Chain A
Amino acid sequence: MTATADSHAGGEVGQARLRKEDARLIAGRTRWTDNMSLPGMMHMAILRSPLAHARINRIDTSEARSMSGVEAVVTGADVADDQGSLPCAWPITEDMKSPNAPSLAVDEVNFAGEAVAVVVARSAAEAHDALEAIEIDYEELPVVLDMSSAMTEGSDLVHPDLGTNASATWVFDSAEAGTGGSADEALAGAEVTVHRTFRQQRLIPAFMEPRSILVDPTGEQTTMWSATQVPHILRLMLAMTTGVDEHKIRVIAPDVGGGFGGKLQVTPEEVITFLVARKLGKPVKYTESRSESFTSAHHGRDQIQKLSLAANRDGTVTGLKVELLADMGAYLRLVTPGVPILGAFMFNAIYKIPAYHFSCTNVFTNKVPTDAYRGAGRPEATFAIERMMDELAAELGMDPLEVRERNWIKHDEFPYTTVSTLTYDSGNYEAATARARELFGYDALRAEQAERRRRGDTVQLGIGVSTFTEMCGLAPSRVLGALSYGAGGWEHGAVRMLPTGKVEVITGSSPHGQGHETAWSQIVADRLGVGFDDVEVLHGDTQSSHKGLDTYGSRSLTVGAMAVVQAADKVIAKARKIAAHMLECAEDDVEFSGGRFTVRGTDTSTSIQEIALAVFAAHDLPDGVEPSLDSEATFDPENFSFPHGTHLCATEVDTETGRVRLRSYVAVDDVGNVVNPMIVEGQVQGGLAQGIAQALFEEAVYDETGTLTSGTLADYLVPSAADLPSFTTDRTETPSTTNALGVKGVGEAGTIASTPAVVNSVVDAVRHMGVQDIEMPCTPMRVWRAIHGGAR
């Protein structure tokens, strides 16, 4: 890691500040939702369907109701009139089919894990005891699990009333859009074509803190604490779903232990706890177990991707056709249908592809609903195109880096409008790739690879490449509107100057581990010329940060911090007026720097703290100036930002056992300007682990009855430090030209880039043994089968 602190000497921005929030987060000395307790609080436990598809004929709760400590037993029928339908904010087409989505199942269940009844009791133990006494008479219905067969004529249906398992089909064609030619024509006339079908396995976000909810209905407002990424969206959606007035609801996301998109949701559990607490008039808490989380919190990925690439013999890509099936699971949750559509803009990646066709059909199955998971749509697209570039290189006998270079957008071609309509503001793929190549020792590793092949070593070496970009900073509201998303993409921020000169920053971007408190403090400290420790960042409570669109899509810094910057600039503008009055000069003659307002060309000055106190006293302010410096701003980005990078991965594949060992991994990322290199490093490292996990380890597996067999952490293999090499990371810095901070976002980069780098590397290790693809995760058995023939 090359530190860049020097170039920011004196300022806070650019320094690897230790994170303010870490002491309390790491030591656990904070308020997680589950360790809160209110007077008279009840505990709720949820009975979940063991079956993937069934009609509920009868629920007998009589015994459970009579058990010790039980306050109430609630079934779907009891809340049918109040619970509404869980929201889906992204109707991707006008004719999209969306089933009614009850929080508590009423007469049928559509996936194993769906909530069927709840017990509220004085203790959690009593609530769990009573769950076992509830009797349900289920009538099993045919189970739909496989997307491809779900789409065949005469297939059983998940929701018979919809008449089909297809929710919607979304199409983009560059010839129709006028951004390029026809992909079909390019394929028909191509010198070379490559066809592959990839499977994006189903993944589980596996955040560290399980979901937890506490609802207090005893005040004027009903207050909900929830381990959520999206307190603001949650409040709005609770109001819209249950009909309770928005101003009567307060939502608090206290410290939240990770989300990875898995807590970008309005969940059945939140709605149920809300309704039940209000019904009882008592505070109610619900905390899920890990196995409940796995079978009910939304999953991610799960697509079948069919790609066809057309190219010239010199490696120039002439067209790309992408046909997707995307598994929705049983219901459409908050942004379920839109996830694959976000990917539509990323298949062309960093390349100048002259003809592009994309189509995606969203399919219902009797499984846990899918939704956003770190990267959401973009990792899927990046994986597919980066795999295809390697396959093209192999087909042509070219070096995979050379094929990429032939096609990528050159540094001097920015801004560049792609075939899928986005305008990339900046980038330098040449620089990132050159640096990665050097750190990796690319040529030496290629030589070693050739030598091992020649010797017929048991352990073969593979080299995998991923030159990726992603769209970050979700999102320009007008673009979201054009994609029929139900909300905007702006963010809100506010700055309050306290009389003592200390500063409170309010952000609508609600963090769940990212380090907003530290980064926002650094930015505001520099902007206002105050100390890092003089800034307090408030977030995650609709009472204090009343407005926001929360944290996902690498948007916090690019959109959220920009709102704070604009609010801070308004504070300075207000203070300047007052400074001019105090210093008895014209406003134009006042210069602001390092927290001091100075009369130009003199040493007469006053500090922002002195002005804050003067404003508080308000004894002598200029006419027409209100006694407040406090300011707020709402920032709507003009464009996305486009971080990019070159990742190189070396794996050793044991051809006798199929085991893959990561030998080295180099990640050179360009995330634009860097506010805190340590936070960037943390995001990259964690992202790499998560992307590598998809390539090698994690998979949500259902058996033929629709039971999740990877239902615990013993079966769903989340890697630990022991399974990962020490990563080599570095950066190039090409500032974004879309926002004043020049930042691009880093939350998802590692995850997006690493999955194809690893799989490309594994395939590369054994390509000479006749292998062209290995399904993810590349388990030892799959790799061994790929080498030695037979089914996958």
Chain B
Amino acid sequence: MIPAAFDYEAPSTIDEAVRALAEADDEVKILAGGQSLLPVLRMRLAAPAKLIDLGRIGELRGVRSDGDMLVIGAMTSHYDVQRDPLLNEHAKLLVMATDTVADPQVRHRGTFGGSLAHADPAGDLLAPALALDAEMVIAGPRGRRTVPAAEFFVDYFTTAVGEDELLCEIRVPKYTGWHAHYEKFNRVAQAWSIVGVAAAVRTDGHMIAEARVGLTNMASVPVRARGVEQALVGQEATPEAIRAAAEHALDGTSPTTDGNADVAYREHLAKVLTSRAVSAAATS
């Protein structure tokens, strides 16, 4: 479990990082928290010639408010996300999903941007980002561009970030006063999601005024459950109404079979968990 040898560079600004990416002719990889990349290197499933470590770039860390948006630096650790007051107030869903990620050690090193860039369909932060209509700001040799979450996740472990680019920040609308819940289903506390459901609702009395629902691990990319959202809007938050809306959870999904769940069971879970996530959010 020793990686093949690689060169290492640790730029201190985004511009330097972009330049380093452009200059590297061999295969180069960005290193964020290393919680997904290092196991891959140690198992020698990849052997990049060079790693560019974003860990020294201060401007990639932290959360700030920008009008009615929150801006999260890609290198903000899971631990910092969990404790950030702005996120706790305006994007609780991200915090709740982050609470379920791995263990304290991993959460201290792993980063929000690294999770999104890694794009593991079982990763817990993708569906919440999608459900909340996050936007990804990507820096490259041609400057910066902004990609909506719906276009950011392309396939298994594949995003819109180009070879010579890096994800630098994530912009999330403020969901002030919304109620949220992330329902994660796994077998042991530190395991990845078999299925996960991210739900945020704005209620008006007993009525659900708006809803955002995203599914984890129900396709090669996170899935936005728009059918569920539409069925919820304007309904009383009763168990029956929520269960009926959750019947739409499979729209747009294409789950696979693995050791923990086959397709039929995953589909069943998606509905049950959607219902539970929305109920928990609506009654929180």
Could you say which of B110-118, B165-173, B257-265 contacts chain A? B257-265
| Bound Cα distance from A657 to B184, whole angstroms | 12
Question: A715 and B259 in contact (CB under 8 A), knowing A289-B1, A291-B43, A656-B272?
Answer: yes
Which residue of B is nearest A780, CB measured? B187
When distances are taken between beta carbons in the complex, the residues of chain B under 8 Å from A781 are: 260-262, 265
When distances are taken between beta carbons in the complex, the residues of chain B under 8 Å from A697 are: 187-188
Question: A784 and B268 in contact (CB under 8 A), knowing A697-B188, A714-B192, A720-B190?
Answer: yes
Whether B269 lies near A290 (C-beta < 8 A) is no
CB of A471 to closest CB in B, whole Å: 32
Whether A709 lies near B259 (C-beta < 8 A) is yes
When distances are taken between beta carbons in the complex, the residues of chain B under 8 Å from A722 are: 188-190
| Bound Cα distance from A132 to B269, whole angstroms | 42
When distances are taken between beta carbons in the complex, the residues of chain A under 8 Å from B103 are: 720
B22 within 8 A of A: no
Whether B261 lies near A717 (C-beta < 8 A) is no
Whether B259 lies near A701 (C-beta < 8 A) is yes
Question: A657 and B44 in contact (CB under 8 A), knowing A714-B192, A720-B189?
Answer: no
Which residue of A is nearest B44, CB measured? A132
Count of chain B residues with Cβ under 8 Å from any Cβ of A? Answer: 24
Count of chain A residues with Cβ under 8 Å from any Cβ of B? Answer: 28
When distances are taken between beta carbons in the complex, the residues of chain B under 8 Å from A719 are: 188
When distances are taken between beta carbons in the complex, the residues of chain B under 8 Å from A715 are: 259
| Bound Cα distance from A719 to B188, whole angstroms | 6
Whether B189 lies near A723 (C-beta < 8 A) is yes
| Bound Cα distance from A659 to B187, whole angstroms | 8
Give the total number of A-B pairs whose CB atoms are below 8 A apart.
53
From DSSP, what is the main secondary structure of chain A's interface residues? Answer: loop
| Bound Cα distance from A701 to B189, whole angstroms | 21
When distances are taken between beta carbons in the complex, the residues of chain A under 8 Å from B190 are: 720, 722
Which residue of A is nearest B269, CB measured? A657
CB of A783 to closest CB in B, whole Å: 11
| Bound Cα distance from A124 to B191, whole angstroms | 31
A779 within 8 A of B: yes
When distances are taken between beta carbons in the complex, the residues of chain A under 8 Å from B185 are: 657, 659, 780
When distances are taken between beta carbons in the complex, the residues of chain A under 8 Å from B262 are: 781
Contact mask for chain A residues 712-729; partner B; CB cutoff 8 A; 1 contact, 0 none: 001101111011000000
Whether A710 lies near B259 (C-beta < 8 A) is yes
Contact mask for chain B residues 13-56; partner A; CB cutoff 8 A; 1 contact, 0 none: 00000000000000000000000000000011000000000000
When distances are taken between beta carbons in the complex, the residues of chain B under 8 Å from A656 are: 272
| Bound Cα distance from A717 to B190, whole angstroms | 9
Contact of B188 among A129, A657, A717 (CB under 8 A): A717
Which residue of B is nearest A693, CB measured? B188
A663 within 8 A of B: no
Question: A720 and B188 in contact (CB under 8 A), knowing A124-B2, A710-B259, A784-B268?
Answer: yes
CB of B130 to closest CB in A, whole Å: 23
Which residue of B is nearest A718, CB measured? B188
A128 within 8 A of B: yes
Whether B260 lies near A714 (C-beta < 8 A) is no
| Bound Cα distance from A719 to B103, whole angstroms | 13
Q: List B residues 106-154 near A (Cβ within 8 Å).
A: none
CB of B120 to closest CB in A, whole Å: 11
| Bound Cα distance from A659 to B268, whole angstroms | 13
B4 within 8 A of A: yes
When distances are taken between beta carbons in the complex, the residues of chain A under 8 Å from B191 are: 714, 717
| Bound Cα distance from A401 to B174, whole angstroms | 58
| Bound Cα distance from A714 to B2, whole angstroms | 19
Whether A129 lies near B187 (C-beta < 8 A) is no
Contact of A291 among B1, B5, B269 (CB under 8 A): B1
Contact mask for chain B residues 200-213; partner A; CB cutoff 8 A; 1 contact, 0 none: 00000000000000
Which residue of B is nearest A45, CB measured? B2
| Bound Cα distance from A129 to B1, whole angstroms | 11
Which residue of A is nearest B268, CB measured? A784
CB of A714 to closest CB in B, whole Å: 7
Interface residues of B (CB under 8 A from A): 1-2, 4-5, 43-44, 103, 185, 187-192, 194, 259-262, 265, 268-269, 272-273
* The 10 residue pairs across chains A and B that have the minimum distance between CB atoms: A722-B189, A289-B1, A128-B2, A717-B188, A125-B2, A781-B265, A723-B188, A656-B272, A719-B188, A723-B189
- Given A720-B188, A720-B189, 9 further pairs, Cβ under 8 A: A714-B192, A715-B259, A717-B188, A717-B191, A720-B103, A720-B190, A722-B188, A780-B185, A780-B260
Q: List 9 A-B contacts (CB under 8 A).
A: A128-B2, A656-B272, A697-B187, A709-B259, A710-B259, A714-B191, A717-B191, A720-B189, A723-B188
